[in-house]
Amino acid sequence: MTRLFNDPAAFADEALEGFTAAHRRWVRPVTGGVVRATATPAGQVAVVIGGGSGHYPAFSGLVGRGLAHGAAVGNVFASPSARQIHSVATAAHAGGGVLLMYGNYAGDVLHFGQAAERLAADGVETRTFAVADDISSAGPEESAKRRGIAGDLPVFKAAAAAAEQGLPLEEVLRVAERAGARTRSFGIAFSGCTLPGADHPLFTVPEARMAVGLGIHGEPGIGEEALPTADEAARLLVETLLKELPEDVADPAGQRAAVILNGLGSVKYEELFVVYRKVAALLGDAGVEIVDPEVGELVTSFDMAGISLTLTWLDDRLEELWRAPADTPAYRKGALDAAEPDPDRASVTAAAQDTAVPAPPVVPAASDASRGAADTVLAALDAVARVVDAHADELGRIDAVAGDGDHGIGMRRGSTAAHRAAHDAHGLGAGAGTVLTRAADAWADKAGGTSGALWGTILRSLGTALGDRDAPDAARVADGVTEASAAVRRLGGAEVGDKTMVDVLVPFADALAAATAEGLPLTDAWDRAATTATAAAAGTADLLPRRGRARPHAEKSLGTPDAGAHSLALITRAVHGALLDHH
């Protein structure tokens, strides 16, 4: 378990602060993460990676020459927000465009995609690439749905080495695509990980058993088997990966491969070496030439007891890039000339940043009627934060049945930050629309993950509909909820029946629109729609998930409602209480 922490909510920020203090030769802090402390040649493509905390040395430990130019760092097991990613990429950009790289998780896909749009709007040419190397998370026919695990490293490195050679953005992207297409990973675990402040692991493995095909966010494996010997574990990993070769590799014999035996957090290096000894022998027996193997902790999951094996099948070009030198806090290879510091970007010292006085926040002008409506909005957001806090543990337990168990934690972070931002905006005289949009930004920024992106979208849609000019009526509120429903489906790609929050949001929006069209006042219309939401959330227990981290464990979730759907239903009922109090 994680024993050394202060406030669990501050763990990721404090860990990043300590990391940068310890590694100033390589990195410097920026809002949202870190960038290289050394100068980047003008016109070089910036490779910006990122993901949640809890995976060190991914992602911040891989920033430095020969590897990433910057890393956006989210909260524990939660993707960084679009704002964090945009900030890091802006700081890392050297005029040659930006390639955003991340593991293939829904929250990362949403936030990095939004950041790419913002960078493009700034005039920065940007591309994105999601690593999808975990063969246990989807079959070959659905390889685009696979999640990214330890294969992140060889794919990131290939792209970054190509950028160091001065290649243009499109060619760097093609290198990433080539490396990703030739990378496969598979893992096993003997116990789950425990997050800071938690009193139990996200999943458990029975005595003398192991979980097979696990993820790196505390997701349980796709199956269980008897606890193996080291040699048996090595054979399982190797034989599983050799069953699925890249399309242009007919036979492993005569092929070259970059090999990574990765420890997930609490397997000791000596144990890894015992396993690797057999891995190397088995690959040799298959005729595979191993190129620059890596044995150690490269992508972890806090204190999870587990290992994964990654093979990247090399051609001449990929081998050149894999062997290229790199110098980062956690990954070093070969030799590089002495680095020059970046005086232009480091001109503002940390001390100056700490003492700088921020400009006072400004809110748009609002009518008295809208400011009055903002009172109700603030009360509603307070009710949201309170109901989420009361049910956070329950939401985590529901999420842990087939997912990673962090839904309650993320919702608590997001709703608390949203209420705080709304309170500040309200205190400055903001109207209802601005109060909601400020809350939306804070929720997305602090929660990260899929729920952060989606709840930011919901609140922003409502804020846009309400505006700051006058008091919104029931029809306008219903229109805002309808647009929020449509926006969430556009952004996340889920539809009714996929076992997500959409299974509640769509019927809730439809019921609210129908009730207001009948002429019901907002409190009565919301009450009817909230009842519909509660029933819809309960109905998700009978569905199989078709999206998100729960999808590989679909059968396990039968009989349990979707955590996102359940939290949305709780929130709709809590907001009804706030509407009654301010009627």
Longest distance between any two alpha carbons in the chain, whole Å: 78
Report the DSSP pairing between strands 70-76 and 98-103.
unpaired
Tokens 């044995």 label which residue? 295
In sequence order, the 6+-apart residues with CB closer than 8 A to the CB of 547 are 106, 492, 493, 494, 498, 499, 500
| Catalytic entry in 217, 426, 566, 576 | 217
* Residue appearing with tokens 């709304």: 422
Is residue 576 part of the annotated active site? The answer reads: no
HSE at residue 514, side-chain half, CA atoms within 13 A, is 11
Q: How far apart are CA 66 and CA 158, in angstroms?
A: 9
Report which secondary-structure segment, H or E, holds 185: strand 183-191
Buried b (16+ CB within 10 A) or exposed e, 2-39: beeeeeebebbeebbeebbeebeebbbbbebbbbbbbb
**Residues 293, 260 contacting (CB under 8 angstroms):** yes
Check: CB of residue 285 under 8 Å from CB of residue 242.
no
Tell how strand 70-76 and strand 46-53 pair up.
parallel
Write the DSSP string, 112-142. Answer: HHHHHHHHHHTT--EEEEEE--BGGGS-GGG
Q: Count H helices, E strands: the chain? A: 17, 14
Catalytic residue numbers, as ranges? 217
